[in-house]
Structure 1
């Protein structure tokens, strides 16, 4: 049974919208700067588009392929207009690890020579990623599992879904911090005259990330170990950063993520866990769902367990920082006093 309950995507020109707040001009073909002299950046989702806009400021033209919470990157089918957009990019930002696999085919089909940054490679849990001590070196970009330079996407190596790895890395503040520094570095290479601006913007952005981490630390100080049930693994990095425990049976969240039926035994285990009173809060992803998701949500509400919604893509009118601030505040408020 198909479990994704999303609004159908209309292909064509309407499928690519300029990120809110960014210039709406079409990137020039061949990867050059646009008519205003801005660096053309294409991101797979508006999450990474927002981060790129924060770093690039007035000197970038950012386009996000996926801009709506009604679209699911796992299942997105790219259009001819998307291909044209990629063709004009100088810098491409993708998530990787199979999350936005449509980007791989787009990059190859467009013949793009743009530099590609893959967010998962800045995550400490990514297979082969080199460790990076944020306390010791807050000013330099980490060395990801491969070079942060342009990748050969034609072979597809390292970009498929990795069993046991949570690819939703934008919910991990450390990953986003390191990615932001890498974006600033690459933008500086593409537009040297504005390199100092990109560096300054990245420093401002990472200061805001530190603020998010402080808020997460406050949750940990009062609620460390509290159990959270997640219908899909989207927010797991964030709850772990808050010192909370993911108590969800793995097969439940993995089945929902893969669009499969939750095994009856796993569903029963989940319902018994919720009924036991051990769960402090439930977090659901409104971009996916099905009968079992509804069932556990109803069970949580019947036990007066707060149910929060954390999306995969940026809600309208939010920046990455304001979005994460809202999520953290909602989590803090939902936990018992």
Structure 2
């Protein structure tokens, strides 16, 4: 009898230990989260901390407009817990493929509910002179045919404004909390820190740009519109609906740049720099690379602000990164 009772006690103890080990293992396994672009990795890691493993579908240096998920990414997506989109038009096509391999994945569009602006397009009257990418430009854009917007499309580049990212942070914390309810308090605390850092970034940018007289800048692809709106700037795009300028359009852009006393022209690594370099050379300005898809979000926005400020004040300070 004592032997039977002892065996039952040992069995119960063993079952309790197995349950504890299983619960501990589940709690220590990070949530597998996919995002669309590299800046989102920073956002999710700051809110999720060690409780998430984040991977961007689009890698740095690639254009989302023509990106195709790799077989390895599709394999990892099949086991992912959460996909956080950011309102890119191409995400609808991606999600059809992702749901085919992982119908249970949770999807949240972080741009949902946020107010969007219309796209800025080239202001020149000779828009018909803009032409599809040729030669090096076509190669640089990876697939020029897919890189196309029309005038009715709204600007998806919301993340260039820290104020927009603060709102996205709320959605990130809520979605993580639904998947790991035991850690809601952790996500809420991390969110508060993240939003405080974004407030600090906003203050730094305003300090860097304080007193800036030349508040217009030219840029090849119009991807910094929300940054411009937030800080009282104006971006003037070189391309129009995914097409580079022809000779007539380029001449008008150069005249516009001279008239507005524009001193800086931004180019992006996903596109050819030729048109930007021609404009900058003609106006005596400089070309600066500005990648709104760069992974180090805080450093990247400060770099963009400093690039603008340095056109007037080369000694602009570099504030500390949070």
Deviation at 1:88, TM superposition (A): 1.4
Which residue of 1 is the match for residue 98 of structure 2?
107
Q: How does 1:15-164 map to 2 (within 5 A)?
A: 36-69=28-61, 71-125=62-116, 163-164=152-153
What is the alpha-carbon root mean square deviation over aligned residues?
2.7
Which residue of 2 is the match for residue 242 of structure 1?
231
Which residue of 2 is the match for residue 327 of structure 1?
304
| Structure 2 unmatched runs, 5+ | 1-24, 119-148, 315-322
Which residue of 1 is the match for residue 264 of structure 2?
281
Which residue of 1 is the match for residue 278 of structure 2?
298
Which residue of 2 is the match for residue 210 of structure 1?
199
CA distance in 2 between counterparts of 1:66 and 1:247 reads: 26
CA distance in 1 between counterparts of 2:312 and 2:26 reads: 48
CA distance in 2 between counterparts of 1:269 and 1:84 reads: 49
Which residue of 2 is the match for residue 183 of structure 1?
172
Question: Match for 1:254 among 221, 237, 240?
Answer: 240
| Structure 1 unmatched runs, 5+ | 1-32, 128-159
Q: Deviations over 1:153-209 (max 9, x none)?
A: xxxxxxx98824111111122221111111011111211221111111111111111
The structure richer in helix per residue is: 2
CA distance in 2 between counterparts of 1:161 and 1:195 reads: 41
Q: Structure 1's 179 and 59: CA in aligned 2 closer, same or farther, altered over 3 A?
A: same
Which residue of 1 is the match for residue 250 of structure 2?
267
How many pairs were matched up?
260
CA distance in 1 between counterparts of 2:55 and 2:170 reads: 20
Which residue of 2 is the match for residue 142 of structure 1?
none
Q: Deviations over 1:136-168 (max 9, x none)?
A: xxxxxxxxxxxxxxxxxxxxxxxx988241111
| TM-score where L is the length of structure 2 | 0.71
CA distance in 1 between counterparts of 2:203 and 2:261 reads: 26
Question: Match for 1:314 among 291, 294, 297?
Answer: 294
Q: Structure 1's 161 and 296: CA in aligned 2 closer, same or farther, altered over 3 A?
A: closer
Q: Structure 1's 162 and 40: CA in aligned 2 closer, same or farther, altered over 3 A?
A: farther
CA distance in 2 between counterparts of 1:42 and 1:161 reads: 28
Question: Match for 1:231 among 201, 217, 220?
Answer: 220
Q: Structure 1's 42 and 247: CA in aligned 2 closer, same or farther, altered over 3 A?
A: closer
Equivalent residues of 2:218, 2:265 under 8 A apart: yes
